[in-house]
Amino acid sequence: MSYTNTELVRKHVSFDETTGGVRREYPVIFADQEWVDIPGRNLAENSVIVKAVRDYAPVFEEITTVQGILMLSNECLLRGSVTVASDSSLGIIFRENIDYSVECSGGIIRLIEGGSIPADSRVAVWYYYYSRYNEGSDYSVDYDKGMIRRLTNSD
């Protein structure tokens, strides 16, 4: 006799889009243009991404799924911030990793086969997203020393 079933396993499977390598998020508070330590030394060139939440109110979109995909207006989503419902009144709240998966770096929501969201349906979505900053104009990184600083005239 089996002690598990497909539905039980689905509740514990993560559909995170990370495919390998080391991925870390470290909060940094910039003080003027002073250098700030970030974990690690001899970092790979172009491996640092600076991002920040600028708007503390969630973004709301009503979107129709197209071939099981929802393309949001913004990319670089805040992990764990996406809520999908059947309508703006939260008639049915769908579950991440059961009904849909989120590709945070691309602003894409994919319906999961067997989930509760009907194909080609209109849904309500709320989420937070990061604004990304540009190396060279907003910040500078010393990859050898593992240090970062904000540049003059940056937001």
Give me the count of residues in the chain. Answer: 155
Q: What's the confidence (pLDDT) of residue 56?
A: 85
CA 79 – CA 102 distance, rounded (Å): 8
Residue at 109 is within a domain: yes
Looking at the structure, do residues 29 and 65 belong to the same domain, yes or no?
A: no
pTM: 0.71
Q: What's the confidence (pLDDT) of residue 101?
A: 97
Q: What's the confidence (pLDDT) of residue 30?
A: 85
Looking at the structure, do residues 65 and 127 belong to the same domain, yes or no?
A: yes
How many domains does one find in the chain?
2
Looking at the structure, do residues 108 and 154 belong to the same domain, yes or no?
A: no
Looking at the structure, do residues 99 and 143 belong to the same domain, yes or no?
A: no
Residue at 20 is within a domain: no
Name the residue range of residue 81's domain: 52-131
User: Which pairs count as long-range contacts for 89-94, CB under 8 Å and 24+ apart, including other chains?
Assistant: 90/124, 92/116, 94/123
| pLDDT per residue as tens digits for the range 86-100 | 999 999 999 999 999
Residue 68 has pLDDT above 90, yes or no: yes
Looking at the structure, do residues 114 and 147 belong to the same domain, yes or no?
A: no
Residue at 19 is within a domain: no
Pair 50, 138: CB distance under 8 Å = yes
Pair 123, 86: CB distance under 8 Å = yes
Higher-confidence residue: 15 or 142?
A: 142
Looking at the structure, do residues 63 and 122 belong to the same domain, yes or no?
A: yes
Residue at 15 is within a domain: no
Of 28, 66, 63, which Cα lies nearest the Cα of 82? Answer: 63
Looking at the structure, do residues 92 and 41 belong to the same domain, yes or no?
A: no
* DSSP, residue by residue, 111-122: EPTTSSSPTT-E
Of 10, 29, 31, 27, which Cα lies nearest the Cα of 115? Answer: 10
Q: What's the confidence (pLDDT) of residue 13?
A: 55
Looking at the structure, do residues 114 and 44 belong to the same domain, yes or no?
A: no
Stretch 101-109: mean pLDDT = 95
Higher-confidence residue: 110 or 3?
A: 110
Residue at 107 is within a domain: yes
Which of 8-22, 39-53, 81-95 has maximum average pLDDT?
81-95
CA 132 – CA 51 distance, rounded (Å): 4
| pLDDT per residue as tens digits for the range 44-65 | 888 888 988 888 899 999 999 9
Residue at 96 is within a domain: yes
